[in-house]
Structure 1
Amino acid sequence: MELPFFRWFRTRFDLAHDMAEPAEIVADVEAGIAFKGTNLWVLFFAILVASVGLNVNSTAVIIGAMLISPLMGPIVGVGFGAATSNVDLVRRGLKNLGIAAGLSVLVSALYFRLTPLTDAGSELLARTTPTTWDVAIALFGGAAGAIGFTRREVSNVVPGVSIATALMPPLCTVGYGLATAHWAFMAGAFYLFCINAAFISLAMFLVARILPLPHFEFENPRQARRAKVLFWSVAVLTAVPSVWLAAGIVRRTTFEHNAQQFVDEELNLPGAYVVTRRIEYDKRAINVLLTGRILTPAQLRAVRARLDAYHLRRAQLTVRQGLAQLDSADARALRSSLLEDVRSRNEQTLASYDARLAQLQQLLTQQADQTGLPAPATLLREVQAEHPTVRQLGLSRLVQPAADSLRADTAVVVSLRTTQPLPAAEAQRLTQWLTVRAGTRQPVRLLLEGPK
């Protein structure tokens, strides 16, 4: 006998009740794998859009490239084919993914080779250093995309997954690294693409195994056994590197976090300032440039002795003192830091502008409500019905403070801009109509402005 809680749990989290027909799912997967015709043209344009967005450091343009990119198709095909024992689907998915990735790198490299803008902005730099969060986003986003992909009703899940699990921008960053000989950028961006592709495919495999989908049937039992071994080998080869990558990213992120905390807490001494910091996980090295007060050898030994407290026992600490020790790597680090600061400040400024604009719009709405007249846009349409020469209309309340104990006078001000001067009689009639339309005891004053 099934307990009520488990029955409720199974009903709530059932994925089969709104699943599309298996034939429809397979048809959608098949359509997304092949890169020819429409898919190939869309891929080409998505490459250029993403390259331009990275080049001009535009987040909106990059998001647009993520939405139109068809790279999810072959990745979904690999995971779906492995889950349903379809050898041909896996083979074609891997082949088309390789073709699409190679084409993306070559076209973006050609673009960055020809463009006069060669500086790496913050959006491009963000794709060169994968973190632990990228692994989690790819896995959970891929699972959400797999569920949305197999539903009867079209939803906004798949476009959202395209934005969250960025595939095109890292490949275009690889092209930038190839065109400008920034091999570290190229390696980091390709690393990020591999993480996203592997974990999206793994998520699709897991979701498809849960769903009641028919598996490919083999006529020969021996062929079926070979196919089963092949499919599970592909699944393991997909999962093991992904887990290994995830573990490596966790270790890297932990080391970098501990090193950053160590520098912030132990080397920001009174009179001494950290100019740049270079944290290299592969070499287990922390390289810091200090300026200001010179630290003595005894102080440096005391600082190094504190490495164990931050779980950095095997880390090598190099402290350079004085701006005379500034090198090209420091200059690049300073530039990256300045770009990040500028981007952060721009985001904060835009957020404050949006908040202020919302306050002003709310204030204008409140003032319009207190006048007894409709919103300016609505009132403009009503006025234009009788006075077609009116082109713009503004609405506000004017408070005139009074001396001594008299109450302040309040008037409603309606400002109009017309294409032709408004005759005095027509203006008087309009004022009387506005007064009646307001339905309050507040007088209405009309301000007229002719054409410029």
Structure 2
Amino acid sequence: MANSKFIRFFNLHTGEDKKENVLENVVNNISFRGANLWILACAIVIASVGLNVNSTAVIIGAMLISPLMSPIVGAGFALGVYDFPLLKKSLKNLLIATFVSLLVSFLYFTISPFKDAQSELLARTSPNIYDVLIAFFGGLVGVIAITRVEKGNPIPGVAIATALMPPLCTAGYGLAIGNLSYFAGALYLYMINCFFICLSTFIIVKYLNYPKVNFVDANREKKITRVISLIILVLIIPSIYFAYTLLEQKKYSQKINNFVQTVFTDKGYTVLFERTNYNTNPKKLELAFLIKKFSKQEVEEIKKEMKDFGITNTELIIRQDNNDLKTDILNEINKTQQNLSEKDLRIKQLNAELNKYQINTPNLQQNIKVLFPQIKRYSIGIQNQIINTDSVYNMISLIYEADKTLSPEETSKLENWIKIQFPENQVNIIEKK
């Protein structure tokens, strides 16, 4: 009794929608025609902009808009019920969506003046086993939600977690700048996401016992299973290798950081330049210092110390009085100065706009108190006076409170005095009642 209650907690048939309703909904969302294609193209542009300016929020918005997941889920359902015409239709629409996405992102990045690879772009160029897990379990959540009567709110989360849009945009970026490694890495990540979402859909469809559309004999069913298993291996093995490489690189970076901190920084040597090249054989660690100059003997001793930190197969290069080093430093300084110059120019422009509406007359308050003692308090500022869309001019407006209302002569005197202070502007005097 207790076991049956426990099993009920994990029973996917509870809350399940009618199978014909689910299949109808899946089939209706597969096609990329008309509105769906326009939505996809717009989502690709939004995602490309987000990747280009390194905005996570914009990328997430694009993933929520994208209809890319529908044909992938359709393919998973088609495999699960052995509906081969539906499988063909799903794959055809997925290819159309993929081609359109690549084309739109390629055109965007070709036109865009910003070609630097931001962190959001680089994150999609080296997939690993963790991306497989995200795609698989994200796909499970998605298909479970699709088969419920109450769809709930997992679908938006699945769209974000499985991230189909950013890899496609990154692949388009790789094509636009001619970097085939970026293109291949991003496309590989996209294939991982597509296949494992499809696989998780297939598993849930089989588990929920969706009826087969076509009769398939045992031999053909085994053949389909073998093909799926082969694709799993083809996609998983490289991702495991990439995950292992990433782990080793992080371990190596940690060793380098410990080495530099202990051997140099803790001894008061200021590291001016540090560059690690992990992809060469042997690996390279280049360092330069602000003041300290090392003799050949000292360098040799430092190289021996590297082994104590577990750093092997690494060439240590300490750059001293090197023209290349000076060039690198000067280039960095020039880049910094260029960025600062652009920021300074923008700040000056904003200050100039702000100054149009500021009054910088420090003696104004003292003079008003002497000349017009009856004024208790006042406010003064520059306002835009708009007559029509083609006629706008600035006016000095002074609003005052007084113990006794100024006479027309005193008001005229105040107005003339303000005009002397601001000869280029018209003046408006207003008494606050």
Q: TM-score range by the shorter chain?
A: 0.5 to 0.7
TM-score by length of 1: 0.64
1:366-397 deviations in whole A, cap 9, x for unaligned?
xxxxxxxxxxxxxxxxxxxxxxxxxxxxxxxx
Distance 2:21 2:400 in 1: 65
1:51-62 aligned at under 5 Å gives the runs 51-62=48-59
Distance 1:192 1:317 in 2: 31
- Higher CA-based Rg: 2
Distance 1:272 1:129 in 2: 34
Distance 2:283 2:117 in 1: 24
User: Residue 377 of structure 1 aligns with which residue?
Assistant: none
| 1:16 equivalenced with 2:13 (yes/no) | yes
Aligned to 1:33, which of 17, 30, 42? 30
AA at the equivalent of 1:143: L
| 1:249 equivalenced with 2:242 (yes/no) | yes
User: Residue 83 of structure 2 aligns with which residue?
Assistant: 86
How many residue pairs were aligned? 323
Structure 2 vs 1, CA of residues 326 and 252 (structure 1 numbering), >3 Å: closer, same or farther? farther
Distance 1:284 1:238 in 2: 32
AA at the equivalent of 1:251: Y
TM-score by length of 2: 0.67
1:306-385 aligned at under 5 Å gives the runs 306-307=309-310, 316-322=313-319, 324=322
1:48-90 deviations in whole A, cap 9, x for unaligned?
1111222222222111110111111122122222222222233
User: Residue 299 of structure 2 aligns with which residue?
Assistant: 296
Alignment RMSD: 3.1
Aligned-partner SS, 1:307: coil
* Alignment check: 8 A CA contact 1:75 1:201 kept: yes
User: Residue 213 of structure 1 aligns with which residue?
Assistant: 210
Distance 2:48 2:66 in 1: 12
Q: Which shows bigger deviation, 14-23 or 26-35?
A: 26-35
Structure 2 vs 1, CA of residues 258 and 88 (structure 1 numbering), >3 Å: closer, same or farther? same
* Alignment check: 8 A CA contact 2:128 2:241 kept: no
Aligned-partner SS, 2:114: coil
Identity %: 37
User: Residue 154 of structure 1 aligns with which residue?
Assistant: 151
| 1:262 equivalenced with 2:233 (yes/no) | no
Query: What residue ranges of structure 1 are gaps of 5+ in the alignment?
Result: 309-314, 339-419, 423-449
Structure 2 vs 1, CA of residues 150 and 421 (structure 1 numbering), >3 Å: closer, same or farther? farther
Structure 2 vs 1, CA of residues 286 and 146 (structure 1 numbering), >3 Å: closer, same or farther? farther
Shift of 1:110: 0.9
User: Residue 73 of structure 1 aligns with which residue?
Assistant: 70
User: Residue 275 of structure 2 aligns with which residue?
Assistant: 276
Distance 1:193 1:229 in 2: 27
Structure 1's consecutive aligned runs of 4 or more residues displaced over 6 angstroms after TM superposition are none
Query: What residue ranges of structure 2 are gaps of 5+ in the alignment?
Result: 337-398, 402-430
Shift of 1:226: 5.5
* Alignment check: 8 A CA contact 2:80 2:210 kept: no
1:233-290 deviations in whole A, cap 9, x for unaligned?
342133222331332233122211221222122243223746122323xx67533221
Structure 2 vs 1, CA of residues 37 and 126 (structure 1 numbering), >3 Å: closer, same or farther? same
Q: Which shows bigger deviation, 232-241 or 58-67?
A: 232-241
Shift of 1:35: 1.4
* Alignment check: 8 A CA contact 2:46 2:59 kept: yes
